Amino acid sequence: MKPAAPKPAEDRRVRRTRHALRSALVGLVLDHGFHAITVEELTERANVARATFYSHYRDKEDLLVDVVRELAADRERLLPAVEQAQAQGFTGLPVLYIFQHAEQEKPVYRVILRGEGDGRALREFTEIICDRVERLFRERAGELGVTPRIPFDVIARAWTGELIGMLTWWVENDTGYSAAEITGHLRDLSVYGRVWASGLTPSDAPGAVDSTP
């Protein structure tokens, strides 16, 4: 016999409990660092029982990974721009939304991008983005019937690494760049390349081979 499906009130209670624990984790990590905090401190700040914590998570590392997955799920729920970008070509809209989302959820992004929890959360975050990026590039190339000049997994890793590097710098510092401005710069780097962005020609770029006899 299958167990009875959760009642709506139970679902809401579960969501509230998990949200309270995720919020408690983010606040405590930013205050004290991941390794310094305990489950007791988490449950006290979230105002939930210790037994309740363990009914949802194995340990604080498991909770940290849930923070990443919930962040990714939240972005996916609110990201129609991805589908729009697939239909219209490279618009930069998905990247813009990531930066706008990071602006709204800056404490959570800081916890993840700082590599708290031995970097597990950052690795999870990186893999989520990289998998999505590779899938989008493959789908777009398939729609247009083109063959990649560089393998898709390499493209996705390079794109994701650049994005995470910029995102980390942007959320940790007062860069003076708006989400729209930083997205525009990343879009132009992707479309035209670093040599173009620097104002150089390929023969002038650092590392260029001098073919002059």
Domains in the chain and their CATH numbers? Answer: 13-58 (1.10.10.60), 66-197 (1.10.357.10)
- Banded model confidence at residue 115, pLDDT cuts 50, 70, 90: very high
**What pLDDT, on a 0 to 100 scale, did the predictor assign at position 5?**
56
What span, in angstroms and rounded, lies between the C-alpha atoms of 187 and 94?
11
Amino acid at 89: G
| Residue (of 172, 157, 176, 170) closest to 99 by Cα position | 170
Tell me the whole-structure pTM to 2 decimals: 0.80
Query: What is the pLDDT averaged over residues 139-168?
Result: 94
The yes-or-no verdict on residue 3 having pLDDT over 80 is no
Q: What is the dihedral of CA 186, 187, 193, 196, to 10 degrees?
A: -90
**CA 4 to each of CA 101, 104, 183: distance values in angstroms, whole numbers, following the listed order:** 36, 37, 47
**What pLDDT, on a 0 to 100 scale, did the predictor assign at position 40?**
96
Q: List pLDDT tens digits, range 51-108.
A: 999 999 999 999 999 999 898 887 776 555 445 544 444 456 778 888 988 999 999 9
2 vs 189, residue with greater confidence: 189
Q: CA quadruple 178, 184, 185, 186: dihedral positive or negative?
A: positive
User: Among all chains, which residue has been given the structure tokens 């997955």?
Assistant: 69
125 touches 112 (CB < 8 A): yes
Query: What is the pLDDT averaged over residues 185-197?
Result: 88
Record the tokens describing residue 44, joined without a space. Answer: 């006290």
**CA 87 to each of CA 83, 147, 156, 158: distance values in angstroms, whole numbers, following the listed order:** 6, 19, 19, 23
What span, in angstroms and rounded, lies between the C-alpha atoms of 129 and 6?
31
DSSP 44-94: HHHT--HHHHHHH-SSHHHHHHHHHHHHHHHHHHT-THHHHHHHHS--SHH
Q: In the chain, pLDDT over 90 holds for what percent of residues?
A: 58
